[in-house]
């Protein structure tokens, strides 16, 4: 458990540092987060993303002006790729001081390799986890240890993070990007990346 939490923490910090250099952020209501552990590359994250109905998930924004029921997200989590096993999906609604939010998540395994997919409805919270995830401009960072790259995934803006040494990575996709937001809320990014998965890891310990 400690290793997985460390992997996610490093990825969140890497993304956070990159976003701080940009200066302007995009606010997003619905986001998809894919996290890989013990993977040889991040390609599996893109493979899972390509099997998802991202347009259908984004359309839930209009269908539910208020909180999107997490059951809608559970039904839109991807099927397991060939050779992979899909775990039990679960979701919930959470209350924030600025309103409510909901999410659904599922972990897929292939031997020691794991991919966790989470879909969030942030309800455009002015403050809170998940609010600040995408920069208005793209700043890629690469080193011997890994990289942060900004991508377009099926037409949507995304951020990819890779840690070579840990064989881990993550992919964030913003499905409904809205208005620019000020810098002080950046610290919530790391929290948003870790919340859905750390809780599950604790349950397994």
pLDDT digit string (tens) for 156-186? 888 888 999 999 998 988 887 543 443 333 3
Q: Render pLDDT for 115-133 as a digit per residue (tens, 0 to 9).
A: 999 998 876 555 444 444 4
pLDDT higher at 7 or 120? 120
Q: CA 59, CA 48: separation in Å to the nearest integer?
A: 19
For residues 44 and 167, give the distance between their C-alpha atoms in angstroms, rounded to a whole number: 12
Average pLDDT value for the chain: 74
Query: What local confidence, expressed as pLDDT, does residue 30 receive?
Result: 87
> What's the whole-model pTM score?
0.72
Q: Look at residue 139 and tell me whether its pLDDT is greater than 90.
A: no
Mean pLDDT of the region 11-22: 38
- The partner residues of 120 in beta bridges, in order of sequence, read 31, 103
- For the cut 50, the answer to whether the pLDDT of residue 96 exceeds it is yes
Section 20-34 average pLDDT: 60
Structural domain boundaries, residue 86: 2-204
Domain count across the chain: 1
What count of other Cβ atoms lies within 10 Å of the Cβ of residue 122?
A: 26
- The answer to whether the beta carbons of residues 84 and 107 sit under 8 Å apart is no
- Comparing 23 with 152, which gets the higher pLDDT? 152
């Amino acid at each position: 458990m400690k290793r997985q939490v460390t992997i996610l923490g490093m990825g969140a910090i890497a993304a956070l540092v990159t976003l701080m250099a940009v200066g302007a952020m995009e606010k997003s209501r619905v986001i998809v987060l894919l996290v890989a552990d013990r993977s040889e590359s991040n390609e599996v994250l893109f493979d899972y993303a390509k099997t998802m109905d991202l347009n259908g998930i984004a359309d839930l924004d209009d269908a539910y002006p208020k909180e999107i029921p997490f059951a809608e997200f559970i039904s839109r989590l991807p099927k397991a790729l060939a050779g992979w096993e899909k775990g039990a999906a679960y979701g919930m609604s959470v209350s924030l001081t600025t309103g409510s939010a909901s999410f659904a998540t599922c972990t897929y395994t292939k031997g020691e390799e794991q991919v966790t997919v989470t879909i969030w409805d942030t309800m455009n919270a002015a403050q809170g986890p998940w609010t600040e995830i995408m920069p208005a401009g793209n700043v890629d960072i690469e080193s011997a240890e890994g990289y942060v790259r900004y991508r377009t995934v099926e037409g949507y803006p995304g951020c990819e993070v890779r840690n070579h040494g840990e064989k881990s990575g993550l992919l964030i996709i913003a499905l409904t990007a809205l208005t620019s937001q000020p810098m002080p809320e950046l610290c919530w990014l790391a929290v948003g990346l870790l919340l859905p998965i750390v809780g599950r890891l604790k349950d397994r310990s």
